[in-house]
Amino acid sequence: MSQDIAKVSANYKHRFNVNDPYFDESPAKELSLIVVIPSYKEPDISCTLASLCQCIAPKGKVELIIVINAPENAPPEVLEMNRQTIRQIRSLEKQLAENRIRLKLIQEENLPKKFAGAGLARKIGMDEALQRWTLAKKDGPIICLDADCTVSKDYLIAAEKAFSNPLIQLGHYQFKHLFLEEKDEQLKNGIVQYELHLRYHIQGLKWSGYPNAKHTVGSCMVVRASAYAKSGGMNRRKAGEDFYFMHKLLPICQFIYLPALVYPSARSSDRVPFGTGRAQLEFLDAGAQIRNTYHPETYISLKQFFKLVPNLYYTVKGLEELPEHLLQFLLEQGFENRLKDMISQSKTANIFVKNFWQWMDGFMVLKMTHYLRDSCHSEMPIDMACSSLLMNLEESIPLSLSLTELLKRYQQLDFSDYSKGLTTNDT
């Protein structure tokens, strides 16, 4: 395994733009986890670090890589906020060490404006984690966390236990926004609906038959070092880097749900062009009470298509019966020629299905979802959409559920998936 990670890491560095190692001292022999936190203009990272200090200590030791970052020509107030963040980190360094967590601080505050953002900051930290694992001659997990999150006490031991199985390559923690602790009623209302939207969409995709219907929350991702390197590492997107990263790996990696919890912040933010903080900011600016989300009919259309997939290797019968707008989308994507290529390149039906879902990845499904939204299935209020989908997911539901009751129901549906543990690209 040590030779494998050295070879994989060397190939990754040869193919991609990777900074030289920031730290050259050897990791602890007992190293079992590396946590990476990007931090930009962060007002209170101390809550995140204190939360890590309260975790049950794993058997091995932990390295915590924090990437303090900013774009070139960042205004003085941003850099001063970063200085405050560093002071908070240093004040908790001793407490971290007492909890078997060794701090590694990276400062990159002159990042190219074109690329500076969540993706590049996460990449810098994850690349360094890969180099740390290579130095340790181990193929261990790289855990992603954000500087405005807290975690449950079993956060570290859950990852250590899961990735003690060498077959596991990719994981995702449970998550919950602690909306009951939010004093601002608008923020509270907004985050309930945003989390409900995330869970509704995943359950809709799962019901439609999409095999990689998994959450892709950046602060909940875990990836084995070798899988990270072989996949080409983290992208440099300013936002949505987590979605693209996870969906690059999901079709080809053995995946596990981790039973521990991450608690993301409910605050609004202008630091990224989309995501939770931006969604909250736009919700507050709009002054609306109810968000819109994808129409349930979207998932019915997707289900009609996805159920045909296992037989497409043998026959295209049934495609002509798909909804008109879905057929138009496939036409625009050159599906007919792509299907012929996949069939010719697949020796068996099982290989064809695997190749199909690599082509029909998360990004393609999202494009299809948006095409249907814009052409025929307009968005609808989230409470109505979620109640409608529940009628397909469950035998009976109460006639009227509040937003918080709907969220609780969808959390239960998601957490039942997590309780099942391992899912892979073969299931």
pLDDT, one tens digit per residue, over 308-319 is 999 999 999 999
Is the Cβ–Cβ distance between 72 and 112 less than 8 Å?
yes
What pLDDT is stored for residue 417 in this prediction?
72
Is the Cβ–Cβ distance between 130 and 228 less than 8 Å?
yes
What pLDDT is stored for residue 343 in this prediction?
97
What is the spatial distance between Cα 298 and Cα 377, in angstroms, rounded to a whole number?
6
Q: Of 57-61, 91-95, 236-240, 275-279, give the lowest mean pLDDT range.
A: 275-279
Which pLDDT band holds residue 288 (cuts at 50, 70, 90)? low
What pLDDT is stored for residue 2 in this prediction?
47
Mean pLDDT over 271-277 rounds to: 49
Which pLDDT band holds residue 146 (cuts at 50, 70, 90)? very high
Q: pLDDT tens for residues 86-103?
A: 999 999 999 999 999 999
Q: Where are the beta strands (DSSP E) in 177-220?
A: none
Which pLDDT band holds residue 186 (cuts at 50, 70, 90)? confident
What mean pLDDT, rounded, does the chain reach?
91
Residues of the chain with pLDDT > 70, as a percent, come to 90
What is the spatial distance between Cα 367 and Cα 333, in angstroms, rounded to a whole number?
10
DSSP-assigned letters across all residues of 243-301: HHHHHHHTTTS-EEEEEEEEE------SSSSSSHHHHHHHHHHHT-SS-EE--HHHHHH
Type of residue numbered 161: K
Q: In the predicted model, is pLDDT for residue 250 greater than 60?
A: yes
What is the spatial distance between Cα 340 and Cα 183, in angstroms, rounded to a whole number?
56
Q: Of 165-179, 194-208, 348-362, 393-407, give the lowest mean pLDDT range.
A: 393-407
Q: pLDDT tens for residues 374-420?
A: 999 999 999 999 999 998 887 667 668 899 999 999 999 998 876 66
What is the spatial distance between Cα 380 and Cα 293, in angstroms, rounded to a whole number?
6
Verdict on whether the full-model pTM lies above 0.85: yes
- Please tell me whether residue 34 adopts helix, strand or coil conformation: strand
Which pLDDT band holds residue 1 (cuts at 50, 70, 90)? very low
Q: Where are the beta strands (DSSP E) in 17-165?
A: 31-39, 61-71, 101-111, 141-144, 150-151
What is the spatial distance between Cα 195 and Cα 325, in angstroms, rounded to a whole number?
29
Mean pLDDT over 65-93 rounds to: 97
Which pLDDT band holds residue 421 (cuts at 50, 70, 90)? low
What pLDDT is stored for residue 427 in this prediction?
33
H or E, element range at 239: none
What is the spatial distance between Cα 425 and Cα 97, in angstroms, rounded to a whole number?
38
What is the spatial distance between Cα 317 and Cα 350, in angstroms, rounded to a whole number?
19
Which pLDDT band holds residue 142 (cuts at 50, 70, 90)? very high
Q: In the predicted model, is pLDDT for residue 279 greater than 70?
A: no
What pLDDT is stored for residue 18 in this prediction?
95
What pLDDT is stored for residue 289 in this prediction?
78
What is the spatial distance between Cα 60 and Cα 33, in angstroms, rounded to a whole number?
8
Q: In the predicted model, is pLDDT for residue 423 greater than 50?
A: no
Q: What CATH code would you report for 2-289?
A: 3.90.550.10
β pairing state of 170-175 and 150-151: unpaired
Q: pLDDT tens for residues 215-241?
A: 999 999 999 999 999 999 999 998 889
Q: Sketch the domain layout of the chain as residue ranges.
A: 2-289, 295-378
What pLDDT is stored for residue 222 in this prediction?
98
Q: In the predicted model, is pLDDT for residue 281 greater than 80?
A: no
Instruction: Give the closest residue to 142 by CA, choosing from 67, 70, 239.
Output: 67
What pLDDT is stored for residue 299 in this prediction?
98
What is the spatial distance between Cα 133 and Cα 377, in angstroms, rounded to a whole number?
47
Is the Cβ–Cβ distance between 377 and 301 less than 8 Å?
yes
